[in-house]
Chains A and B, each alone.
Chain A
Amino acid sequence: MAGTFFGISVATTGLSAQRAALDIVSQNIAHANDPTYKRQRLGLSEGLPIAQSQEATGTGATMISTGVQAGTVQRVRDSLIEHRLMQAGESSAQWQFMANSLSQIEAALAEPSDTGLQVDLNAFWASWNSVATTPESVALRTTLVENTKALCSRIQYLYKQIGAAVDDLNYSAVDAVSNINEITAEIAKINSEVGTLSGGSSETNQLLDRRDGLVQELSKIVSIDQFGDGTADFLITLGGRVLVQGNHASQLITEVDGNGNQAIRWAYDGQDVVIRGGQLKALEDLRETIIPGYLSQLDEFATSLVEQVNAAHHTGKTLTGADGGDFFVAGSVASNIAIDPGVFNDPRLIAASATGAGGDNQIAVKIAGLGDAPDPLTGVSINQAYRKLIGDIGSASSIAQKQSDAQSLSLQQFTAQQQSISGVSLDEEMTNMIKFQQAYNACARVITVMDEMLGVLVERTGSVGR
Chain B
Amino acid sequence: MRTTLSMQVQTSLLNISRATLGLTDAQRVAATGKRISKASDDVPGTDRALTLRSALSTIDQLADNCVVSKPLLDTTDSALASMASAIKSVQTICMAAANSSVSDSVRQDYIRQLDSITEDLADTANTRYLDQYVFSGTLTGQPAVTAQAGPPPFTYTGNDDVRKVQVLNWVSVQTGIPGSKVFNFDGSAGAGTTDMFTMIANVRDAIASGNINQMSSQLTNIQANYDNVLSCRSRVGAWLQRLDKAQGILDDGKGRFSELLSNVEDADLPQAIIWLQTQQNVYQAALSVSSQAQNLSLASLRQ
Contact = CB atoms under 8 A, between A and B. Distances in A.
Contact of B38 (A107, A412, A420): A107
B46 A394 contact: yes
Given A129-B166, A130-B61, A391-B47, A420 B14 contact: no
B47 A419 contact: no
Nearest to A394: B39
B170 to A, nearest CB: 11
Interface string B127-139: 0001110001111
A424 B10 CA distance: 13
Given A112-B50, A358-B140, A359-B140, A424 B4 contact: yes
A355 B140 CA distance: 13
Nearest to B2: A420
A71 to B, nearest CB: 23
Contact of B161 (A123, A360, A393, A420): A360
Contacts of B57: 122-123, 125-126
A425 B131 contact: no
B53 interface: yes
A114 B178 CA distance: 42
Contacts, number: 183
Residue from A359, A369, A371, A397 whose CB has the most chain B CB atoms within 10 Å: A359
A427 interface: yes
A35 B137 contact: no
Q: How large is the interface on A (under 10, 10 to 19, 20 to 34, 35 or more residues)?
A: 35 or more
B1 to A, nearest CB: 5
Nearest to A400: B40
Contact of A118 (B50, B137, B163, B166): B50
B134 to A, nearest CB: 10
Contacts of A355: 138, 159, 161
Contact of B14 (A118, A369, A412): A412
Contacts of A430: 297-299, 302
Given A394-B39, A420-B2, A112 B136 contact: no
Nearest to B68: A133
B49 interface: yes
Nearest to A395: B43
B172 interface: yes
Contacts of B137: 357, 359
Contacts of A118: 50, 53-54
B240 to A, nearest CB: 15
B201 interface: no
A371 B175 CA distance: 24
Contacts of B164: 361, 365
B9 to A, nearest CB: 7
Interface in A101-117: 102-103, 106-107, 109, 111-112
27 contacts: A39-B4, A106-B40, A109-B38, A111-B46, A111-B50, A118-B50, A122-B53, A122-B54, A126-B58, A135-B163, A355-B161, A357-B159, A358-B140, A359-B132, A359-B138, A359-B163, A368-B166, A390-B39, A391-B39, A394-B41, A394-B43, A397-B39, A397-B40, A416-B7, A430-B297, A430-B298, A430-B302
Closest 9 CB pairs of A and B: A394-B39, A423-B4, A359-B140, A357-B138, A122-B57, A397-B40, A359-B138, A398-B40, A430-B298
Given A357-B140, A361-B165, 12 more contacts: A109-B38, A111-B50, A129-B166, A134-B132, A136-B141, A358-B141, A359-B140, A365-B165, A365-B166, A387-B47, A387-B51, A398-B41
